[in-house]
Amino acid sequence: MKVITDEKCTGYAQPGHPERPARITKTLEKLRAQTELPIAWGKPAAFDEALLLRAHTGEHLARLEKPEDFDADSPFFPGIGAHARASVGAALEALKAARAGETVFSLMRPPGHHATRTRAMGFCYLNNIASAVLEALATGAKRVAVYDFDVHHGNGTEAILLDKTGASFFSIHQHPCYPGTGTRNVGDNCFNYPVPPQTPRGEYRHVLASAVEHLQKVNPDLVAVSAGFDAYAHDPLAQETLEAEDYYWLGQQFRSLGIPVFSLLEGGYSDDLPQLIFAYLRGLEGK
Ligand SMILES: [Zn+2]
């Protein structure tokens, strides 16, 4: 199991904000303390700035340097542009590892799936997964599928990948919930599975399984996973019911696809996040 991370990603914070450095530091403590799952550690890749312009406008990249909050959820922080680029770099390193046959997870912040082509929102500044998918398509991948199991709709990823040849997007999320989108399929490649709040675990898992089956039908040669752990029963930002065992099961599902898969941390705000990530990694690794 390879984990891509950089402790510099804990270098920004707003008191009381749920997307906080402890999400990473506590997970690192957990992963370093355990011996069940041997981990090889990797760092974010360096990349050319032009790569970001596949997913974002130049105006958006300039806006990241302007010291004004982006919205009520997404404050400006000094150096946030560099932090967001490091998350993209980690996604690219994860892509590379997956292509080399490794099981891989990017443990970074900020998350990315709400960031659109033109806008930071929902704790996200640059879209890590869309940037990695567009890089994969530009460098030989034919069909790349994104599976987004964060409890919030991956609106930014959808907007960037909509009708993009070779890309497909599957999002399973609570509705109604932030950001309010994802109620129906859009274009010919974006498939949404809205789930009502407090859906019983077994039913939620059934929806997750349906989306995995649907994804297999597009016959991807590569799968990118937006791994958010906020559909967890005790997450403070949503009202769903999943348990650690369900994240283990999700990891197993991706392992059993038998094709390269890379996963990036998106949301997940409960104090149990380290256990949820560990369960997912065990499933991915088949342990
Ligand atoms: Zn989320």
Which are the contacts of 252, defined by CB distance < 8 A and separation ≥ 6? 283, 284, 286
Among residues 114, 152, 153, 175, which one is catalytic? Answer: 114
Instruction: Tell me, in angstroms, the distance from the centre of ligand 1 to residue 140's CA.
Output: 30
Instruction: Report the distance separating Cα 249 and Cα 255, nearest Å.
Output: 10
**How sure is the predictor about 213, in pLDDT bands with cuts at 50, 70 and 90?**
very high
* DSSP notation for 4-37: E--GGGGS---TT-SS-THHHHHHHHHHHH--SS
In this prediction, residues 39-60 reach a mean pLDDT of 98
Cα atoms found within 13 Å of the Cα of residue 222, Cβ hemisphere only: 28
Prior bond of 78 cis (ω within 30°): no
pTM greater than the 0.85 cutoff: yes
Using alpha carbons, select from 192, 201, 262 the residue that is nearest to residue 45. Answer: 262
Instruction: Report the distance separating Cα 138 and Cα 91, nearest Å.
Output: 15
Amino acid at 72: A
Instruction: Tell me, in angstroms, the distance from the centre of ligand 1 to residue 103's CA.
Output: 23
The distance of Cα 203 from the centroid of its chain, to the nearest Å, equals: 23
Instruction: Tell me, in angstroms, the distance from the centre of ligand 1 to residue 128's CA.
Output: 14
Instruction: Tell me, in angstroms, the distance from the centre of ligand 1 to residue 68's CA.
Output: 23
For all residues of the chain together, what is the average pLDDT? 98
Share of the chain above pLDDT 90, in %: 100
Count of all residues that appear for the chain in the document: 287
Dihedral of the alpha carbons of 152, 208, 166, 130, in degrees to the nearest 10: 30
Which are the contacts of 119, defined by CB distance < 8 A and separation ≥ 6? 60, 70, 156
* DSSP notation for 65-129: TSSS-SBTTB---TTHHHHHHHHHHHHHHHHHHHHTT--EEE--SS--TT--SS--BTTBSS-HH
Burial 222-240 (b: 16+ CB within 10 A, else e): bbbbbbbbbbbbebebbeb
Instruction: Tell me, in angstroms, the distance from the centre of ligand 1 to residue 113's CA.
Output: 9
Using alpha carbons, select from 28, 25, 26, 20 the residue that is nearest to residue 3. Answer: 28
Instruction: Tell me, in angstroms, the distance from the centre of ligand 1 to residue 155's CA.
Output: 11
* 114 is a catalytic site residue: yes
- What is residue 232's predicted lDDT score, i.e. its pLDDT? 98
Instruction: Tell me, in angstroms, the distance from the centre of ligand 1 to residue 230's CA.
Output: 6
Identify whether the C-beta of residue 195 lies closer than 8 Å to the C-beta of residue 173: yes
**How sure is the predictor about 202, in pLDDT bands with cuts at 50, 70 and 90?**
very high
Instruction: Tell me, in angstroms, the distance from the centre of ligand 1 to residue 197's CA.
Output: 14
CB atoms within 5 A of ion ligand 1 belong to: 150, 152, 228, 230, 267
Q: Mapping DSSP to helix (H, G, I), strand (E, B) and coil, where does residue 196 land? A: coil
- What is residue 98's predicted lDDT score, i.e. its pLDDT? 98
**How sure is the predictor about 181, in pLDDT bands with cuts at 50, 70 and 90?**
very high
- What is residue 180's predicted lDDT score, i.e. its pLDDT? 98
Q: Mapping DSSP to helix (H, G, I), strand (E, B) and coil, where does residue 39 land? A: coil
Instruction: Tell me, in angstroms, the distance from the centre of ligand 1 to residue 267's CA.
Output: 4
Instruction: Report the distance separating Cα 106 and Cα 265, nearest Å.
Output: 6
In this prediction, residues 158-162 reach a mean pLDDT of 98
- What is residue 228's predicted lDDT score, i.e. its pLDDT? 98
**Please, is 34 exposed, middle or buried when counting C-beta atoms within 10 Å of its C-beta (0-12, 13-18, 19+)?**
middle
Beta bridge partners of 121: 124
Instruction: Tell me, in angstroms, the distance from the centre of ligand 1 to residue 130's CA.
Output: 16
- What is residue 39's predicted lDDT score, i.e. its pLDDT? 98
